[in-house]
């Protein structure tokens, strides 16, 4: 029943939000439609960026739209229809590469469009290396570093929970259902590492047909025990309901399930997959000047550090890192919950955007075929 209530309330909230967004009278001079992922993540952006910005700029009203999971396809549809109603879209880097390639979003110049660090370091040097131009594209404005990692039910395993990626694939030592994201991304890399492939060679192995076969063969060993998730909120819900024992999930969602909701869930950071998430500005938007001002504000050093008060995702600027402090409500130190914390980041896999941009279509299809067979 809990999941039922949860689903319906999410749906109800979504309907309400869309209804509100649609019926909102234009009280302010400019409405900026910002598309993001909803839930705890949008809430952290609201508190860290939107609220202070609106307070400082009475002429601006920021409206939230939670359809980021369909961001790329909706942008495409808007572009075809010639009516772009979004002003700013939250996207993972790999989608941003495609959007940039197809000319759906604006290229940016970091040094003019983004704020410099307090000490004067230009943005192009202050952001972590390579993050401003994933896959050679120049449209992406990075915001957070997050990781996809594992959570497990602490009450299901008597001898202690899983400690390595191998344990996730070991149904004998760690019986029970798994939940994994319904995508090849991440799962194939984990499968290869668990199958003994050198983590630094993962993408090279995956580039060969035999490597792909090997990854799928490893996934086959747990296929019957996997419940696949598609929305970020699902894996923590499945863990909370006891439907699965181990689940891959975004680290921020696990943080809120563990620390805020006090669920009996533990974290397993081994071979967490790093990814970055950020903003793109749709080409053809109606408030490009206004939105650029907002972006410049929202990605400055202090703002990026502020977001980490509300969710355990790391800022993407060197200058923000020292400013990360304690959780706004819980008062706990956030640094140890960040995926970048040295204790957590002993083994990490850096997501290869470019490789995935090239192979995504093919492997998605193969993955879907594998699922359906």
Partner 1 sequence: MASVTAAPEVMVTADGTPLKVSLHRALRRNKIRAFLLVLPLLAFLGFTFLWPIGVMMFRSVENSLVSTVMYRTVPLLAQWDETTGDLPDEAVFEALVQDVTEGFKNRTIGKVGTRLNYEEPGMSSIFRTSPKKFKKITEGPYKEKVIEAHKGWGDVDKWRLIKREGRPFTSSYYLAAIDRKLDNLGSITSQPAERQIYVKLFIRTLWMSALITGLCLLLGFPISFLLATLPTKTSNLLMILVLLPFWTSLLVRTTSWIAILQQHGVINDILVAIGLVSDDARLGMIHNQIGTVVAMTHILLPFMVLPLYSVMKTIPPSYMRAARSLGANPALAFWRVYMPQTVPGIGAGGILVFIIAIGYYITPALVGGTKGTLISNFIDYHMRVSLNWGLAAALGIILLGLILFLYIIYDRVVGIDNMKLG
Interface ranges with partner 1 (CB under 8 A):
1, 3-4, 7-8, 11, 70, 72-73, 76, 97-98, 100-103, 135-137, 177, 213, 216, 227-228, 241-243, 283, 354, 357-359, 361-362, 364-366, 368-373
User: What is the nearest approach in angstroms of partner 1 to the Cβ of residue 156?
Assistant: 11
The whole-angstrom separation of Cα 39 and Cα 13 is 10
- Exposed, middle or buried, 76 (CB in 10 Å: 0-12/13-18/19+)? middle
Cβ atoms 339, 314 nearer than 8 A: yes
User: What is the nearest approach in angstroms of partner 1 to the Cβ of residue 341?
Assistant: 33
- Between 161 and 284, name the residue whose CB sits nearer to partner 1: 284
Kind of pairing between the strands at 265-280 and 348-350:
parallel
Question: Closest Cα partner for 150 from 173, 168, 177, 174?
Answer: 168
Rg from Cα positions in the chain: 21
Cβ atoms 354, 97 nearer than 8 A: yes
Q: Which helix (H) or strand (E) holds 97?
A: helix 93-101
How many residues are given for the chain? 373
- Between 60 and 105, name the residue whose CB sits nearer to partner 1: 105
- Between 267 and 283, name the residue whose CB sits nearer to partner 1: 283
- Between 61 and 76, name the residue whose CB sits nearer to partner 1: 76
The whole-angstrom separation of Cα 193 and Cα 186 is 11
- Between 15 and 330, name the residue whose CB sits nearer to partner 1: 15
Only one residue has tokens 């699902």, namely 234
- Between 4 and 27, name the residue whose CB sits nearer to partner 1: 4
Q: How far is CA 11 from the centre of its chain?
A: 21
- Between 1 and 56, name the residue whose CB sits nearer to partner 1: 1
User: What is the nearest approach in angstroms of partner 1 to the Cβ of residue 86?
Assistant: 16
The whole-angstrom separation of Cα 175 and Cα 109 is 51
């Amino acid at each position: 029943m809990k999941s039922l209530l949860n689903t319906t309330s999410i749906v109800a909230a979504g309907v309400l939000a869309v209804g509100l967004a649609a019926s909102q009278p234009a009280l302010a001079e400019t409405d900026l439609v910002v598309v993001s992922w909803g839930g705890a993540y949008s809430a952290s952006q609201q508190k860290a960026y939107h609220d202070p910005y609106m307070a400082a700029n009475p002429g601006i009203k920021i409206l939230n739209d939670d359809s980021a999971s369909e961001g790329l396809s909706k942008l495409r549809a808007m572009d075809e229809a010639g009516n772009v109603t979004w002003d700013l879209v939250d996207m993972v880097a790999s989608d941003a590469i495609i959007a940039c390639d197809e000319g759906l979003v604006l290229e940016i110049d970091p040094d003019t469009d983004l704020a410099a660090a307090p000490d004067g370091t230009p943005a192009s040097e202050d952001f972590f290396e390579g993050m401003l131009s994933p896959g050679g594209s120049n449209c992406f404005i990075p915001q957070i570093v997050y990781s996809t990692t594992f959570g497990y039910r602490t009450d299901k395993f008597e001898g202690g929970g899983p400690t390595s990626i191998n344990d996730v694939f070991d149904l004998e030592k760690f019986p029970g259902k798994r939940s994994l994201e319904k995508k090849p991304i991440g799962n194939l890399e984990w499968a290869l590492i668990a199958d003994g492939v050198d983590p630094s060679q993962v993408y090279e192995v995956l580039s060969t047909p035999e490597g792909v076969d090997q990854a799928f063969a490893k996934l086959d060993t747990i296929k019957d025990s996997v419940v696949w998730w598609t929305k970020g909120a699902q894996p923590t819900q499945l863990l909370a309901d006891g439907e699965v024992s181990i689940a891959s999930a975004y680290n921020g969602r696990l943080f809120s399930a563990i620390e805020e909701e006090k669920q009996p869930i533990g974290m397993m950071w081994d071979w967490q997959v790093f990814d970055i998430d950020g903003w793109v500005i749709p080409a053809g938007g109606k408030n490009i000047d206004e939105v650029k001002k907002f972006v410049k504000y929202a990605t400055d050093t202090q703002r990026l550090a502020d977001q980490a008060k509300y969710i355990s995702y790391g800022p993407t600027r060197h200058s923000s890192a020292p400013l990360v402090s304690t959780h706004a409500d819980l008062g706990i130190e956030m640094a140890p919950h960040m995926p970048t914390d040295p204790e957590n980041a002993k083994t990490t896999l850096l997501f290869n955007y470019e490789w995935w941009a090239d192979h995504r279509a093919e492997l998605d299809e193969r993955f879907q075929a594998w699922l359906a067979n």
